[in-house]
Amino acid sequence: MSSRERILGRVRRALADVTPDERPYAEAVPRDYLREHGARTTEQTVELLAGNLADYRAIVHRSDAEELPYLVMRLLNQHGSQEVLVPPGLPPEWMSAADPVRIHDRAVSTAQRLDQVDSVVTGCAVAIAETGTIVLDGSPDQGRRRISLIPDHHICVVRVPDQVVSSVPQALERLDPARPLTWISGPSATSDIELDRVEGVHGPRTLEVVLLS
């Protein structure tokens, strides 16, 4: 008997006393968990998002549409960015005041080439206040997953309050599971067995989130 057969046999024995349920999966699995923890106003939800982003060591900025191009310019200048990755559908006004060389992601662009780019500017699909998580889904203003994972510096613009939700269940209702979802909670980081934190191992070392009102 193979390991696979032994494991499946244990599963069958464990389910022997479970009454079969022929209902569709969406009906058979209860969805009675909390959709959000506590009642909050829109302003309180946005503040919770900002606080949790900061807890994850993301750098949070506030801006309106008029100020945004100048904020992006300042952030790129402060990082010393000479080249910036620009998704194909990024609103052009976001970059209208910045002057680094714009690099467009193409199929022929290798990971080594993208690693030479200093920064990337993207939008997002949704932001989750309770977890401080930004979700990208590969839409035109976000580009392919790799352009948000390879450069060392990521500027992500979140439209407030339209793209902000309280909880993960609320976020999942907005997301298409068939799309390439990237869930980002702060800059990339890991720790070894002695809990020494290292940032930038498998994604950007610096994450700057702009809450755009």
199 versus 203: the higher-pLDDT residue is 203
- Whether 90 maps to a domain, the answer reads yes
Does residue 6 form part of some domain?
A: no
CATH of the domain at 198: 3.40.50.10420
For the chain, how many structural domains are there in total? 1
23 confidence band (pLDDT: 50, 70, 90):
confident
Give residue-wise pLDDT tens across range 50-85: 999 999 999 999 999 999 999 999 999 999 999 999
Mean of the pLDDT values across residues 145-153? 93
Distance CA 161, CA 164 (A): 5
Q: What is the mean pLDDT of residues 139-159?
A: 95
Residue 54 lies in a domain: yes
Q: Residue 15 corresponds to which tokens in the numbers above?
A: 């389910």
pLDDT tens track for 84-105: 999 999 999 999 999 999 999 8
- Overall residue count recorded for the chain in this entry: 213
Assigned domain for 101 exists = yes
Residue 60 domain-assigned?
yes
**How far is residue 85's CA from residue 204's CA, in Å, rounded to a whole number?**
13
**If pLDDT is split at 50, 70 and 90, which confidence band does 200 have?**
low
State which H helix or E strand residue 198 sits in.
strand 197-199
Q: 133 in a domain, yes or no?
A: yes
Q: What is the mean pLDDT of residues 19-46?
A: 85
Mean pLDDT, to the nearest integer, of 9-16?
Answer: 92
Range picked from 29-38, 98-107, 134-143 for highest mean pLDDT? 134-143
User: What's the burial of 37, exposed, middle or buried (CB within 10 Å: 0-12/13-18/19+)?
Assistant: exposed
pLDDT of 164 > 90? The answer is yes
Give a yes or no: residue 63 inside a domain.
yes
Q: Which domain, by its residues, includes 125?
A: 40-212
Predicted local confidence at residue 53, as pLDDT: 97
Strands 133-136 and 126-128: antiparallel
Instruction: Tell me, yes or no, whether 7 lies in a domain.
Output: no
pLDDT digits (tens, 9 = 90+) for 117-130: 999 999 999 999 99
Closest CA to 165 of 142, 132, 143, 121: 132
